[in-house]
Structure formats: structure tokens, C-alpha cells
Amino acid sequence: MKANRKRRRGSLHPARWLEAFSGLLGGVSRLPHIGPLVLGAFVAGILTVLAGQVFVLRQVALEGHPGFSPVQVMAWGGLRGGENMLLLNLQDVVRKLEAQRWIANVRIWKVWPSTLRIVVTRAQPFAFVPHRAEWVAVDRGGDVLGKMENPAGPFVYGVSVGAGDRVSGEAWPEVGLLLERYRETVGVEPGEPREIHVGTREISFVGSSNAIRFPLEGAREAFDTFEALYQARRARGLDAYDELTILSGRRVMARRRAQPQVGSTMISTGER
């Protein structure tokens, strides 16, 4: 019986181990320089263990109706289920997501303990250009966004997609600027003008009820003239001319058709 009550040499009850460790930690913590460091490391270790069990990514709440799935967004952002939320770099996730062509803007928050809230703004097509026997959407800068179901226009003829999936040619900056200013000035519906034709000497905008021609050289000055005339007639409550030709500079020739179509306007800027 006495032999059974004997403990093996070197053995210690777990409570004794905890008491001994607490005493050692307390003694070390009282040291002027080493103590705070050891105590801080101990607390950090405990928090890391707890965070690995509690603060882990379990859900992505995707908002903004961008047409993407949470699985796609996680893949694009380099996110993995179960990773430590405390160590997650949100700026890095935003940078990766905004590098995707169809994503214009991203906002992201951590919702503790295990959810990421991501609001995605989808990039809107500025126009459509031909590429490999189909129409692809491009942004204002001419970068290809990709294919889109039921494209509404405007469809740009006379340009092509070059290296780096970007519209090539020196005329695109003029096309982008004119289309942007045309929409601001006229306030047309989405998809208008229906077509834009880029030639060697002129850029033509063709809408459902009008057409405008700008000379490729001096297009910005020609649009200034068109905008001034358009605003002046609108201020007087008048419709646009049936045909307006800006020959050069501020020289203007206006003409009514013999049998004008209702709502039809032909505005030509630049010499023919």
C-alpha cells in the first residue's frame, strides 16, 4: 500500500506545473527589462492561438450587384477561407480586385469575428469596338473590358484592338473626348449615338435621329463651335438645324430640308 502511494521521482501534478509556471512568469515579469517583453510575448501567443480559432474568415458578404459570385471575388482578391482575420491586409485585397477589368471600385470592411463585407462597383462600358469577329466593351481609356450580352452601343467602326487588349490608333483619344463631351452637351440616352465611324479625315456620330461629322484634325475646336450653336438654339427654345455645316473656324452654313423628317437632324462639322 505504501508503495502505491509513492510517486515516481520527477513526476508532478498538473496543478503543480501550472503553479510553478505562474510563479516563474511572475518572477520574470518583475525584472525591469526582460519581464515586460516576456509577458508581452506570452499574451501575444495566447491571442494568436485564440485568433486562429475565432477570428478566421468564414464568410464574404458581397454587395453592389456586380454580376460576380463571392467565390470569384475571393479568388481575384487572393482570399482563402479560414485565414486569420487579424493578419488580413485589406489594402492588398482592394489592389488585387481593382486590377480586374470589370471592377471599377472596391470598398471592404471586416465584420468581426469572421466576415468580410465587400462592395463592388462594376465598370461600365464606354463603347464597343470590333475584335476577333465580335464586339467587345472598352472603357474611357480604350482598355478592353470583355464581352457583354446584348451590347447597346455605341459601336465604333474604323478602330481595332492592339497589344495589351487596348484600342490602337491615334484617333481613339479624339473619339473618347468627343463622345464624352457629346453626352454631356446633348444628354442622350444610353447607347446613343448608335454608331461612330472613324475615317482618315473625319469622325462621324450616327444616332437614331441625327448624324454629326467632325474633322479628325481640329475636332476639339469644331466641337466647341457645335456646342455653342447647340446651346444658343436650345436657350431660344429652337430645335437643332436639319443640317448644319461648320466649314472652318466659325463659318457656319445652315439649311432646311425641303421635306424634313420629324425629329431628324443632320449636323456636319468640318469641310466635306
The CATH code of the domain that includes 85 is: 3.10.20.310
Q: Which amino acid is at 71?
A: V
In this structure, are 112 and 174 located in the same domain? no
Asked if the structure places residue 24 within a domain, the reply is: no
Please report which confidence band the pLDDT of residue 265 belongs to, taking 50, 70 and 90 as the band edges.
very low
User: Domain span at residue 218?
Assistant: 168-269
Are residue 198 and residue 264 in the same domain, yes or no?
A: yes
Neighbour-count burial of 248, counting CB atoms closer than 10 A to its CB (0-12 exposed, 13-18 middle, 19+ buried): middle
Contacts of 115 (CB under 8 A, 6+ apart): 57, 58, 59, 60, 61
- Which of 43-57, 113-127, 207-221, 237-251 tops mean pLDDT? 113-127
Q: Are residues 172 and 117 in the same domain?
A: no
With cell 471592377, the residue in question is: 103
For the segment 91-104, the average pLDDT, to the nearest whole number, is 92
Helix, strand, coil % in the chain, rounded to nearest 5:
30, 30, 40
Q: What is the mean pLDDT of residues 137-155?
A: 88
Look at residue 263 and tell me whether its pLDDT is greater than 50: no
Which residues make Cβ contacts (< 8 Å) with residue 160, sequence separation at least 6?
129, 130, 131, 167, 168, 169
Three-state secondary-structure class, residue 106: strand
Residues 191, 251, single domain; the answer is: yes
As a whole number, mean pLDDT of residues 85-103 equals 92
pLDDT of 162 > 80? The answer is yes
Interhelix angle for 14-29 vs 34-53, to 10°? 130
Nearest to 145 by CA among 97, 176, 191, 101: 101
pLDDT of residue 39: 59
Residue 97 has pLDDT above 50, yes or no: yes
Helix (H) or strand (E) holding 136: strand 134-138
User: How large a percentage of the chain has pLDDT more than 90?
Assistant: 28
One domain for residues 176 and 262? yes
Same domain assignment for residues 81 and 172: no
Is 134 inside any structural domain? no
Q: Is residue 47 part of a domain?
A: no
Q: How confident is the model at residue 254 (pLDDT cuts 50, 70, 90)?
A: low
Cell representation of residue 60: 464574404
Partnered with residue 204 across adjacent β-strands are: 197, 213
More confident call, 19 vs 64: 64
175 and 111, same domain (yes or no): no
Q: What number of helices (H) and strands (E) belong to the chain?
A: 7, 15
Quick check: is 147 in a domain?
no
More confident residue, 93 or 231: 93
Residues 173 and 259 reside in one and the same domain: yes
Which of these three, 90, 107, 122, is where a domain ends?
122
Query: What would the grid cell of residue 240 be?
Result: 437643332
Contact by Cβ (8 Å): 106, 97: yes
| Identity at 36, one-letter amino acid code | P
Q: Do 264 and 194 have their domain in common?
A: yes
Global pTM reads 0.63
Highest mean predicted confidence (pLDDT) among 12-26, 151-165, 204-218:
151-165
Mean residue pLDDT of the chain comes to 76
* Number of independent structural domains in the chain: 2
H runs (alpha helix) in the chain: 2-5, 14-29, 34-53, 70-76, 90-98, 172-186, 219-235
Whether residue 172 sits in one domain with residue 115: no
Q: Which residue has the cell 471575388?
A: 73
Q: Report the C-alpha gap between 117 and 167 in whole angstroms.
A: 35
* In the predicted structure, residue 152 carries a pLDDT above the cut 90: no
Whether residues 175 and 117 share a domain: the answer is no
- Asked if residue 199 has pLDDT above 50, the reply is yes
The region of weakest confidence among 25-39, 72-86, 102-116, 120-134 is 25-39
Are 118 and 188 in the same domain?
no
Residue 108 placed within a domain: yes
Say if 179 falls within a structural domain.
Answer: yes
Q: Quick: pLDDT tens for 15-26.
A: 554 455 555 555
Average pLDDT in the 21-42 region? 56
d(CA 192, CA 106): 28
- 214: in domain: yes
Q: Which of 122, 141, 159 is the last residue of a domain?
A: 122
Who wins on pLDDT, 175 or 3? 175
Confirm whether 26 is domain-assigned: no
